[in-house]
Amino acid sequence: MAEETIFSKIIRKEIPADILYQDDLVTAFRDITPRAPSHILIIPNKLIPTINDVEESDELALGRMFTVAKKLAEQEKIAEDGYRLIVNCNSHGGQEVYHIHMHLLGGKPLGPLLMD
């Protein structure tokens, strides 16, 4: 059984977060350290530590993360100009919180994707 992170507490509303969306499969909330004018994290309610742990039975929740990203981009009024979705995996990918999360970043030109 994977160890819970702070994100499980956010899902259960045991600690405060600026939650923008929640349903039976996913939760979305503003990143505490925004790296862009809009910086939202979209996570499955089920604890999946990394992309390496994804199973076929998770496909509905993972797909929902994309449709929620689309809706929130519209809500944030960044859809037309564009935005970036990022999912980091493990240490080389820069993952710090071991509960899968999709970063939705936008509100300014983000430049080329960093490769180093």
Which is catalytic among the residues 92, 99, 101, 103?
101
2 binds ligand 5GP (CB under 6 A): no
Applying the rule CB under 6 A, the residues between 30 and 59 that interact with ligand 5GP are 30-33, 41
Q: Which is nearer to ligand 5GP, 29 or 61 (CB)?
A: 29
DSSP string, 70-112: HHHHHHTT-TTT-EEEE---HHHHT--SSS--EEEEESS---S
Is 101 assigned a catalytic role? yes
The residues binding ligand 5GP (CB under 6 A) are 6, 17, 29-33, 41, 88, 94-97
